[in-house]
Chain A
Amino acid sequence: MTVEILVNLLGLGAISGIIWWFWVAPKRPHAEAVAVEEKLRIHVRGGVYEPDRVRIKAGESATLHFIREDPTPCAEWVLFPDLEVSAQLAVNEETTVRLPASEVGEYSFHCQMQMYRGTLVVE
């Protein structure tokens, strides 16, 4: 009996853990966005952009530098759908992506399949 209760509790705990970690936690205002500057490189590896939250100034165009270290095809493209910008990333090369001047807000960027996700904060 105790084992059964234990397993059930474990399962329910896992479910709430998943909901918390993947849905609730990311919605909270968390880690500061990293300011985009000349030297900032966004690394694409193992399913994530690092950093995955970058900040640019509103009303000014900006340039992002991506380095894709992951050869899986999913990582090949980065899309900024709201800005109508996309770029094909070269493996182990630096790819620059130009962003047009945009309004204040948060824009998501991601790969074609939305596995890799990041946020562009314009302020």
Chain B
Amino acid sequence: MAESSNRAAHPTEKAIQVFRLQGANCASCVNKIERAAKEVSGVEVATVNLADRTLSIRGDAEAAAVTAAVEAAGYGAEIVRASARELRERQRAEEQRHYHQLLWRAALALGLGVPLMGWGMITGEVGVNTTFQQVAWGLVGGLTLVVLVFCGGHFFSGAWRAFRHHGATMDTLVALGTGTAWLFSMLVVGVPQLLPESARHVYFEASAMIIGLINLGQAMEVRARGRTSAAVEKLLELQDVTARVMRDGEEVDVPLEEVQVGNQLRVRPGEKIPVDGRILDGSSTVDESMLTGEPLPVKKNKGDRLNAGTLNKNGSLLFEAEKVGAETRLAQIIELVKNAQSSRVPIARLADTISSIFVPTVMVLAIVAALFWFNWGPEPRAAHTLVVLTSVLIIACPCALGLATPMSVMVGVGKGAEYGVLVRNGKALQQASELTTLVVDKTGTLTEGAPKLTDIETDSDADELLMLLASLESKSEHPLAEAIVDAARDKKLALYDAENFEAVTAHGVRGRVHGKRVLLGNRKLMKRENIALEKWQACAEALSAKGRTAMYAAVDGELAGVIAVADPIRKDAKEAITRLKKLGLSIEMLTGDNQATAAAVARELGIARVHADLLPEDKEKIVGELQQKGTHVGMVGDGINDAPALARADVGFAIGAGTDVAIETADITLMRSSLHGVADAIELSKSTLRNIKQNLFGAFIYNILGIPIAAGALYPLTGILLSPVIAGAAMAFSSVTVVSNANRLRWFKPASVASDRKEAK
């Protein structure tokens, strides 16, 4: 097979290959498998690790042969694939090799082309009139042929191979252009008498220069392209090579590929977490910014989740592996980013259609232009015909057109990953840039999603009242109760045991705490118990108007005060809403809460439109209605409860997926639980689309102007034709320009970041 010969050519030192074994359970298997493996040619050392059922082979044996040998011995073996990172490194080396090869080719070709061009420009003697000139130029022609074969052979072989498949590529254009120039020159050298004296020119320098320049351009393109994948590379680098696994109470370093689900692992301060898992022992703060874009480190205790690739800051952790290999969140992110990076963007459809017929069209145009000059052009017609033919072929650049979109998407999507914005595909990216309306689910997005005690109003001691109420509520299972108990805990109040606890449905709770009769509930409860409300009624109503849930508290038959609970608004929500408005979006809020609560939150955040009292299925309907009005609707939700609405929207943003949502559900997934992520995503999509448009515009204009100029459109004005060498230079650098412009996106920074980073310090 081709790949084995290629692999043998790699100058790797004796590689280690790891196989996962099946059916190896006992110590006696170890010997049998090792013996079988060692008999395979190329295997130098074979060791079986029974604990994790792996076989490690040192030497350059064929993986298939090892597998076969192990199977013959009665067991199963499967090669453990090289890690993505290792693969990447190999690709890097390959790229580097290719880069140097291109530079060499460029240098050689230019080494011939530049002196030839200099000669032509200084002496002006490129005509073939005498026998001596015939011989001399014949030699130069031979030399040029050598350059064409050595430095440009790949253009010719590629063109030929594509031709056989009815395809035409950039190689076709380069091969035809340089080939024609060379053949014409050889014709001049061989039988100059066929041509009028004024047309007896040779164009060897053009062939050599074009090959050199295009190689140089490609080398620069390889360089620039390498940078476009910098973001994925950064993510790949987050994957550690080894992990410290606990075996029989000892810490053993093993290659990452060998870590299995259920293994216990140790991470020390300052180390990266190798796989996804759950903390068994220890606590620490973990920097998750590389996955979520969240600048502040997160506190982690026993039972908390850890994600591969994040950085353990200051504590030693023992944890159990739950997901390894391709299952880890990091691996999934990488996969998603890669897929999105190469996906289609609708805006590029025209460019795609054009590039699929571009090359044959250019070939036809070149011939038409050449025939025009041949039939109607001024003398020397033969020379003009050739120059026009070559220039048109060479200047047309399908790559600029083809690269315009993919390169920008590549950089844009990768950049998003850096800020915890995962874009599902190019379509989502484009639609995000066109949104006019953003529908936001309130709970968990604008608010924390967990109610908190906001007010406690009383004439007597507030702490005392809170203590009584919290003691009572500690028996309750109502979500509001939790907020009151938490508030008491935060104040370090000691709680009593409540007696005769009773929950009165739709009213409140009552019971006996520390010998006192305590009541907590709404107006109806107080009425039922004949407790006068007058004293606190105004206060309670004021709190309700602010969107809080106010409750009356009574102690020993007397109204003691009012407390209020509310789902607090996220600290950054207001700022994010302002940003989104600045991006030209009209914002609408959705919530299952009542109108008063919803309106209060909306007022605080400056949101004009509110849809309250919604059932879960209403959300999708509202999105649909907005779409029918012709708006482009984005929907922000948590990805679990809002799935239908997210799917219905033009762009669904799943927020807070740093937790547990499958990252495939939404068009855009935000790893960070903040609305700023949505603003980041929209800013990014706008920048990326702008970049794509620049690239497409540039590529179109280049070809639309370049081809007529090469065809001689400027001749009536300037009296000269575009030199094929300049056409070659323009072509070589047009695609570099496109890639470089895409690379400018690497400097993209969402507006929020500057302020965030300041806070973090």
Please give the residue numbers on chain A whose beta carbons come within 8 Å of chain B beta carbons, in ascending order: 4, 7-8, 11-12, 14-15, 18-19, 21-23, 25-26, 41, 43, 45-48, 52, 67, 69-74, 77, 79, 81, 84-88, 90-94, 112-117
Question: Do B166 and A25 touch (CB < 8 A)?
Answer: yes
A92 B403 Cβ-Cβ under 8 A:
no
Contact (Cβ within 8 A) B169 A15:
no
Shortest Cβ gap from A59 to chain B (Å): 22
Known contacts A73-B221, A114-B355; A11/B169 CB under 8 A = no
Distance in Å: Cβ of B6 to nearest Cβ of chain A: 4
A114 touches B352 (CB 8 A): yes
- Whether A92 contacts B161 by the Cβ 8 Å rule is no
B374 at the interface (CB under 8 A from A): yes
Q: How far is the CA of A41 from the CA of B402 in the complex (A)?
A: 26
Asked if A91 and B94 sit within 8 Å, CB to CB, the answer is: yes
Q: Are A114 and B367 in contact (CB under 8 A)?
A: no
Given known A-B contacts A67-B2, A115-B170, A46 and B344 have beta carbons under 8 A apart = no
Let me know if B581 is at the binding interface, CB within 8 A. no
Chain B residue numbers with a CB within 8 Å of A22 are 166-168, 359-360
Q: Are A8 and B360 in contact (CB under 8 A)?
A: no
Please tell me which one of the listed residues B3, B95, B165, B339 contacts residue A71 in the complex, with CB atoms under 8 A apart: B95
The 8 A CB mask of B355-378 against A (1 = contact, 0 = none) is 111011001100110110011000
- A–B Cβ pairs within 8 angstroms, 22 of them: A7-B371, A8-B371, A11-B371, A21-B163, A21-B166, A22-B359, A26-B166, A41-B2, A46-B154, A46-B160, A47-B171, A48-B162, A72-B154, A77-B342, A79-B342, A81-B344, A92-B7, A93-B90, A112-B403, A113-B355, A115-B398, A115-B402
B360 contact from A23, A43, A84, Cβ within 8 A: A23
Chain A residues near B1: list those with CB within 8 A: 41
Q: Which residues of B contact A15 (CB under 8 A)?
A: 364, 367-368
Do A93 and B3 form a contact, CB below 8 Å, given A11-B370, A19-B364, A47-B167? yes
Output the nearest chain B residue to A86 by Cβ-Cβ distance: B342
Chain B residues numbered 537-582 whose CB sits less than 8 Å from any CB in chain A: none
Residues of the A chain whose Cβ atoms lie less than 8 Å from the Cβ of B399:
74, 113, 115
Q: How far is the CA of A74 from the CA of B159 in the complex (A)?
A: 14
The answer to whether B402 and A113 touch across the interface, beta carbons within 8 angstroms, is: yes
Does B85 lie at the interface of the complex (its beta carbon under 8 Å from any beta carbon of A)?
no
Contact A71 B98 (CB under 8 A): yes
Please name all residues of chain A whose beta carbon is closer than 8 Å to the beta carbon of B158 when the two chains form the complex.
46-47, 70
CA distance A69 to B704 in the complex (A): 34
Compute how far the CA of A72 lies from the CA of B94 in the bound complex, rounded to whole angstroms.
10
Q: Which of B1-54 contact A (CB under 8 A)?
A: 1-3, 6-7
Does A88 lie within 8 Å of B159, measured CB to CB?
no
Select from chain A the residue with minimum beta-carbon distance to B382: A7
Check: B450 CB closer than 8 A to any chain A CB: no
How many Å lie between the Cα of A24 and that of B363 in the bound state? 16
CA distance A73 to B222 in the complex (A): 7
Question: Which residues on A sit within 8 Å (CB–CB) of B163?
Answer: 21
Q: How many residues on the B side are at the interface (Cβ–Cβ under 8 A)?
A: 59
A115 cross-chain contacts in B, Cβ below 8 A: 162, 167, 169-170, 398-399, 402
User: How many Å lie between the Cα of A45 and that of B352 in the bound state?
Assistant: 21
Chain A residue with minimal CB distance to B338?
Answer: A88
Chain B residues in 8 Å Cβ range of A52: 165
What separation, in Å, do the CA atoms of A71 and B750 have in the docked complex?
35
- Closest chain A CB from B183 CB (angstroms): 13
Point out the residues of chain A lying under 8 angstroms from B193, CB to CB.
none
Contacts A47-B161, A88-B338, A114-B356: A73 and B90 contacting too (C-beta < 8 A)?
no
Given A11-B367, A46-B157, A46-B162, verify A112-B338 contact (CB < 8 Å). Answer: no
A-B pairs, top 8 by smallest CB distance, nearest first, are: A113-B402, A86-B342, A47-B162, A71-B98, A22-B360, A46-B161, A92-B6, A112-B406
Q: Is B225 an interface residue (CB 8 A)?
A: yes
The interface bits of chain B over 131-168 (1 if a CB of A lies within 8 angstroms of the residue's CB, else 0) are 00000000000000000000000100111111111111
A86 touches B339 (CB 8 A): yes
Q: CB-defined interface of B396-413 with A at 8 Å, one 1/0 digit per residue?
A: 001101110010000000
Flag whether B328 is at the interface (Cβ < 8 A): no
Residues of B within 8 A of A (CB): 1-3, 6-7, 87, 90-91, 94-95, 97-98, 101, 154, 157-171, 218, 221-222, 225, 338-339, 342-344, 352, 355-357, 359-360, 363-364, 367-368, 370-371, 374-375, 398-399, 401-403, 406, 425
Q: Please state if B360 and A7 are interface contacts (CB–CB under 8 Å).
A: no
B161 x A45 contact (CB < 8 A): yes
Among B90, B371, B398, residue most surrounded by chain A Cβ atoms (within 10 Å): B371
- Give Cα A15 to B370, complex, Å: 12
- How far is it, in angstroms, between the C-alpha of A72 and the C-alpha of B219 when the chains are bound? 10
Give complex CA distance A94, B90 in Å.
Answer: 13
- CA A19 – CA B7 in complex, angstroms? 41
- The smallest C-beta distance from B235 to any residue of chain A, in angstroms, reads 13
Contact yes or no, A90 B87, CB < 8 A: yes
CA distance A85 to B425 in the complex (A): 11
Give the residue name and chain of the B residue nearest to A94 (CB). Answer: B3
Chain A residues with CB under 8 Å of B3's CB are: 67, 92-94
Q: How far is the CA of A120 from the CA of B431 in the complex (A)?
A: 29
Contact B360 A113 (CB under 8 A): no
Contact of B425 among A84, A87, A112 (CB under 8 A): A84
* Contact A113–B161 (Cβ < 8 Å): no
What is the CA–CA distance of A116 and B367 in the complex, to the nearest angstrom? 25
Determine how close the nearest CB of chain B comes to the CB of A81; give it in whole angstroms.
5
In contact, A113 and B403 (Cβ under 8 angstroms) = yes
Query: A11-B370, A48-B167, A117-B356 given. 19 additional CB < 8 A pairs?
Result: A8-B371, A8-B375, A11-B371, A14-B367, A15-B364, A15-B367, A18-B363, A19-B360, A47-B158, A48-B161, A48-B164, A70-B158, A71-B101, A77-B342, A91-B94, A113-B403, A114-B352, A114-B356, A115-B162
With A11-B371, A48-B162: A71-B97 Cβ-Cβ less than 8 Å: yes
Q: With a CB–CB cut-off of 8 A, which chain B residues contact A41?
A: 1-2
CB of A79 to closest CB in B, whole Å: 6
Question: Which residue of chain A has its CB nearest to the CB of B95?
Answer: A71
Q: Answer whether A8 and B374 are a contact pair too, CB < 8 Å, given A71-B97, A114-B356.
A: yes
Q: A48-B161, A84-B343 are in contact. Are A114 and B225 (CB under 8 A)?
A: no
Bound complex: CA A93 to CA B159 (Å) = 24
CB distance from B41 to the nearest CB of A (A): 22
**Which A residues are in CB contact (< 8 Å) with B371?**
7-8, 11-12
Tell me the bound Cα distance from A19 to B12 in angstroms.
Answer: 48
Distance between Cα atoms of A52 and B157 in the complex (Å): 17
How far, in angstroms, from A104 to B425 measured CA to CA in the complex?
A: 24
Residues of B within 8 A of A72 (CB): 98, 154, 218
Q: Bound complex: CA of A67 vs CA of B359, how far in Å?
A: 26
Q: Which of B161, B339, B402 contacts A112 (CB 8 A)?
A: B402
Q: Is the CB of A117 within 8 A of B87?
A: no
How far apart sit A74 and B397, CA to CA, in the bound complex (Å)?
14
Closest to B218 in A: A72
B2 touches A113 (CB 8 A): no
- How long is the Cα–Cα vector from A24 to B195 in the complex, in angstroms? 36
Chain A residues near B342 (CB-CB < 8 A): 77, 79, 86-88, 112
Known: A8-B375, A94-B3. A79 touches B344 (CB 8 A): yes
